[in-house]
């Protein structure tokens, strides 16, 4: 197959927190490469998932949700989202069908207009199973009047409705050129970072309220063993002493359960045995340390 018959490019997924970007990424790639929880703002870095459709290689960039930032970490996340959008060949704006045209969506549309129309933008109305068809059509009309979208798709990323049509359209919308990654690669995050994200997801699912936003996970060491297994040592940084106790749980039961769940998923992802060891450390100002940002794929300077 010659270069001129292949297509490849980057597709940025943008939208408000919890719009379903990570769910759509995982659906398109056919494997779990991004955190999916019921909590908002769980995606922090730009995560790339890679899908093949015919002779096209589609590189999806799952960006953090775009929201009004309050803290340095928030500002870095929003900057990462817009950075992913401005670098893309195609932008997909995800809007939740049942929430419709929120203030947040209006703000995103305003920022998209500032990009100057250089990049094609498609509207993705997600979670269509939650509303009636009349409401969907009215929402589509309202959004298309507010912005000149290339195309509108109505989907359920969770259930897969409409996703094949979207993938087919994207395959034809990307520029001609050679593929950017090996055929069997599904993500371009380092394995250490994927492992840390898996553990952070398990913590997020188990913990409540603000604590998930006050912690970060880093893979401190990765040792390949002769029997084909790997030893993975991770550190969970928390901002307060009180959070450490909650993470550990009575007799260490919480962190043990989190470690077990993360290990099982990591073994499934890698197809081999993993020995996972977790430690919890208190670092009150981790959100102001440049090194912590580098570990989760964000630019510390963006939060300034």
Q: In whole angstroms, what is the distance from residue 87 CA to residue 82 CA?
A: 9
62 is in an annotated binding site: yes
23 is in an annotated binding site: no
127 is in an annotated binding site: yes
Give every CB contact of residue 35 below 8 A, 6+ residues apart in sequence: 22, 42, 43, 197, 200, 201, 204
15 is in an annotated binding site: yes
- Number of Cβ within a 10 Å radius of residue 72: 16
63 is in an annotated binding site: yes
21 is in an annotated binding site: yes
The beta strands (E) that lie in 141-258 are given as 151-154, 215-224, 230-238
> Does residue 250 sit in helix, strand or coil?
helix
Give the DSSP H/E element, type plus range, for residue 51: strand 47-53
17 is in an annotated binding site: yes
66 is in an annotated binding site: yes
Nearest to 238 by CA among 197, 291, 292: 292
129 is in an annotated binding site: yes
Beta pairing class for 274-282 and 230-238? parallel
19 is in an annotated binding site: yes
Annotated binding site for GTP: which residue ranges? 15-22, 62-66, 126-129
Annotated binding site: which residue ranges? 15-22, 62-66, 126-129
């Amino acid at each position: 197959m010659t270069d001129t018959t292949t297509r490849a490019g980057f597709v940025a997924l943008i939208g408000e927190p919890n719009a379903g970007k990570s769910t759509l990424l995982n659906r398109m790639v056919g494997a779990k490469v991004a955190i999916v929880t019921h909590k908002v703002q769980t995606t922090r870095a730009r995560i790339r998932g890679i899908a093949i459709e015919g002779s096209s290689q589609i590189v999806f960039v799952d960006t953090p949700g775009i929201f009004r930032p309050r803290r340095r970490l928030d500002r870095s996340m929003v900057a990462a989202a817009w950075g992913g959008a401005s670098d893309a060949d195609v932008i997909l704006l995800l809007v939740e069908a049942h929430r419709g045209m929120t203030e947040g969506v209006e703000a995103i549309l305003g920022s998209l207009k500032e990009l100057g129309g250089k990049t094609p933008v498609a509207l993705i109305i997600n979670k269509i199973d939650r509303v009636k068809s009349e409401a969907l059509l009215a929402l589509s009309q309202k959004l298309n009047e507010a912005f000149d979208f290339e195309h509108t798709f109505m989907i359920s990323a969770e259930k897969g409705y409409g996703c094949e049509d979207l993938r087919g359209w994207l395959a034809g919308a990307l520029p001609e050129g050679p593929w950017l990654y090996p055929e069997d690669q599904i993500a371009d995050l380092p394995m250490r970072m994927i492992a840390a994200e898996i553990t952070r997801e398990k913590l997020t699912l188990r913990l409540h309220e603000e604590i998930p936003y006050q912690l970060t996970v880093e893979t401190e060491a990765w040792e390949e063993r002769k029997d084909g297994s790997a030893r993975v040592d991770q550190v969970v940084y928390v901002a307060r002493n009180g959070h450490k106790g909650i993470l550990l749980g009575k007799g260490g039961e919480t962190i043990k359960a989190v470690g077990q769940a993360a290990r099982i998923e990591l073994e499934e992802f890698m197809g081999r045995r993993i020995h996972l060891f977790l430690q919890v450390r208190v670092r009150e100002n981790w959100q102001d340390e440049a090194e912590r940002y580098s570990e989760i794929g964000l630019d510390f300077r963006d939060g300034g």
